[in-house]
């Protein structure tokens, strides 16, 4: 058996040509996916929105988005194709969103996550998000509650030290491995990470 070379991952701004792959991951990741026109509208007319995609050798394997409102970055969506999960792709996208939030002057980041989504919650906690409230019956598909999470001050010394440590660990992590059965996903604030 010949070993496959590791795949290269990049995180970059989402563009209109990415939407078919984003929608496919959306349908695999959420029981109530956003309608097909939602991302197009976000990209074309929401000046508060910033969306990224994660690519493995040119193929979209994840996406994430946030709105930057005054001094708050609110994560709106987060998903990794199911076949590509558990390879730290979500971590790289979250770090990318935090970097953009910092560059644009956000003081904190917030999000909602399903109470049952322990994997996503652990990721967010690792990156400094902490529970601050609950939105009862937030998710329309099953009326599950959402946990509201927020960070400490993004440009504060404790958060900067955390981000530097986590960034170094990501840079030292092994490259991606191609799953045998194709791409995969998670959804953060709306459902998983």
Catalytic residues: 112, 124
Q: Helix or strand or coil: residue 12?
A: strand
Where b means 16+ CB within 10 Å and e means fewer, 127-155 reads bbbeeeeeeeebbeeeebebbbbbbeebe
* CA–CA dist 124, 189 (Å, integer): 10
Q: Helix or strand or coil: residue 9?
A: strand
Q: Helix or strand or coil: residue 140?
A: coil
E strands, 115-179, are: 129-135, 146-151
Residue ranges of alpha helices (H) inside 60-156 are 89-103, 118-126
* CA–CA dist 138, 147 (Å, integer): 9
* CA–CA dist 75, 146 (Å, integer): 13
């Amino acid at each position: 058996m010949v070993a496959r070379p590791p795949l290269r991952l990049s995180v970059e701004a989402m563009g209109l040509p990415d939407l078919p792959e984003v929608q496919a991951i959306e349908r695999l990741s959420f029981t109530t996916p956003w309608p097909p026109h939602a991302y197009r509208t976000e990209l074309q007319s929401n000046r508060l929105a910033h969306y990224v995609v994660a690519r493995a050798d040119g193929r979209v394997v994840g996406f994430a988005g946030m709105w930057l409102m005054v001094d708050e970055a609110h994560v709106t969506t987060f998903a990794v194709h199911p076949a590509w999960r558990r390879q730290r792709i979500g971590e790289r996208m979250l770090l990318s969103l935090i970097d953009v939030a910092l560059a644009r002057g956000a003081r904190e980041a917030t999000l909602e996550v399903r109470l049952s989504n322990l994997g996503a919650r652990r990721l967010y906690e690792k990156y400094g998000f902490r529970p601050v409230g609950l939105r009862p019956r937030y998710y329309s598909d099953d009326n599950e509650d959402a946990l509201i999470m927020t960070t400490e001050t993004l440009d504060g010394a404790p958060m900067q030290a955390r981000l530097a440590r986590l960034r170094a660990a990501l840079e030292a992590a092994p490259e991606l491995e191609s799953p045998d059965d194709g791409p995969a996903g998670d959804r953060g604030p709306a459902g998983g990470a």
